[in-house]
Amino acid sequence: MSKRGLWAGSSAWKVLLLVWAPSTADSLRERWASRRWISRVYNGRRPLLFATLALLLLISVFRSGQWYGERALLYDDRAMNRPGRACDNRWAALDRIVIVAGHAIYLGSGDGGAQDVTAESSWALEPYQRGHVSTFLAHIETGVRVAAADNRTLLVFSGGDSRAQAGPMNEAESYWRIAQARDWFGHADDVRWRVVTEEFARDSLENLLFSMCRFRQVTQRYPMHITVVSMNMKRRRFSEMHRAALRIPPHRFTFLGIDPPGGYERSEGEAGELVNAVLPFSEDPYGCRHSLLTDKRRARNPYAWSVPYPKGCPEMRALFRRCHRRVYRGRLPWETE
């Protein structure tokens, strides 16, 4: 190897030459041409040589381990994103989704019977949610009954760990426990196997976006029709704003709204919805820029969970990355399926 080629080599060889090579070019040429110089270096500086080689070996092992970890994660992503069979063969036939948007967290196990489920003390509630437990139960029952009416439907309970006082519990899983405690409202045999949870959503847009990703994860396709069950006061938010932001065709979207008994006070419900949701989402359709929306997402993630999506739904990657006032105009799978 020429001296030029040697110095143009790896940084490890450069370090070795800087440590052991003499300072002048003439001396370098003389000693490099002599095998005895190599012998003197090897014998006289053997401990330092071994220490340096050991250090380079450790660096190499660390780097290869880091590379392997990155490759392993990449492999997992590709495996999850690769088209194939659904996790459960029965899920492959499903082409509709019913999304029940969570609003609070049930703290009980469901073993206490109907009284435990309906007691407000069994829930982690915000002050304005007092008196709303029966509505949450109605949402759950409606979702189950809609799914039971069509055996091609996947039911998704959506909602994350939104309350610090609830501990490591989330809205979706607690809704599932309630449905289980109620024996799936008489549809256990037919519906239970068609129910999954989406446990990271922090607001209404994420209820819709994340649940569509979950559908893709378990069925390996996207839904042909989407039904959302939530508060009726959120009808405009879901049916117009979120649907438009995700470019879901109107004929493939249904909203079922159920408000608390007696409804909301007009001034409270409409004004609150306008200020806290409609106006912010009109300026920021993906909820990533407006302070009211970003602050709400932070507050509803007290345990700092990282959102795992779009793993499992690679066709939606652009929507998860979208942060703009204008609606995304690229290709989306549900426009062509």
- Helix 11-20 crosses helix 46-81 at what angle (to 10 degrees)? 170
Which tokens hold the place of 171?
């809205």
Chain position carrying tokens 């304005």: 128
Structure tokens, 98: 């019913």
Q: For 4-60, what is each residue's pLDDT tens digit?
A: 444 444 555 444 444 444 454 555 555 555 555 555 545 555 666 677 777 777 776
Burial of 115 (0-12, 13-18, 19+ CB in 10 A): exposed
Torsion of CA 303, 308, 309, 311, to 10 degrees: -170
Pair of tokens at residue 176? 């599932």
Tokens 């090897």 correspond to: 42
CA nearest to 142, candidates 130, 153, 128, 127: 153
DSSP one-letter string for 100-134: EE--SEE-S-STT-HHHHH-GGGEE--GGGTT-HH
> How many C-beta atoms lie closer than 10 Å to residue 60's C-beta?
11
- Helix, strand, coil abundance in the chain, percent, nearest 5: 60, 10, 30
Distances in Å between the Cα of 100 and the Cα atoms of 137, 205, 217, 319 are 11, 13, 18, 21
Say what the pLDDT of residue 3 is: 44
Residue 317 phi/psi, 5° resolution? -55, -40
What is the distance, to the nearest Å, from the Cα of residue 309 to the centroid of all Cα atoms in its chain? Answer: 3
**Do 199 and 210 touch, CB atoms closer than 8 A?**
no
Torsion sign, CA atoms 258, 278, 172, 224: positive
pTM of the model as a whole? 0.75
Structural domain boundaries in the chain: 3-81, 89-335
**Contact criterion met (CB below 8 Å) for 170 and 161:** yes
Of 13, 8, 18, which is closest to residue 53 (Cα–Cα)?
13
How many helices and strands, by DSSP H and E, does the chain display?
A: 16, 7
The residue among 169, 106, 178, 173 whose CA lies nearest residue 142 is 178
How does pLDDT run across 202-215, given as a tens digit for each residue?
999 999 999 999 99
- Return the CATH number of 89-335, one of 3.40.50.300, 3.10.130.10, 3.40.50.620, 3.40.50.720: 3.40.50.620
The rounded distance, in Å, linking the Cα atoms of 253 and 239 is 7
pLDDT tens for the chain, 337 residues long, are 444 444 444 555 444 444 444 454 555 555 555 555 555 545 555 666 677 777 777 776 555 444 333 333 333 444 445 555 556 678 999 999 999 999 999 998 766 566 688 999 999 999 989 999 999 999 999 999 999 999 999 999 999 999 999 999 999 999 999 999 999 999 999 999 999 999 999 999 999 999 999 999 999 999 999 999 999 999 999 999 999 999 999 999 999 999 887 665 554 667 889 999 999 999 999 999 999 999 999 999 999 999 999 999 999 999 999 999 999 999 999 886 5
Burial of 248 (0-12, 13-18, 19+ CB in 10 A): buried
User: For residue 183, what pLDDT is reported?
Assistant: 93
Spatial distance between the Cα atoms of 198 and 212, rounded to a whole number of angstroms? 10
Structure tokens at 186: 């008489």
Yes or no: say if 153 and 143 are a contact pair by the CB < 8 Å rule. Answer: no
Q: Give dist(CA 326, CA 284) in Å, integer.
A: 8
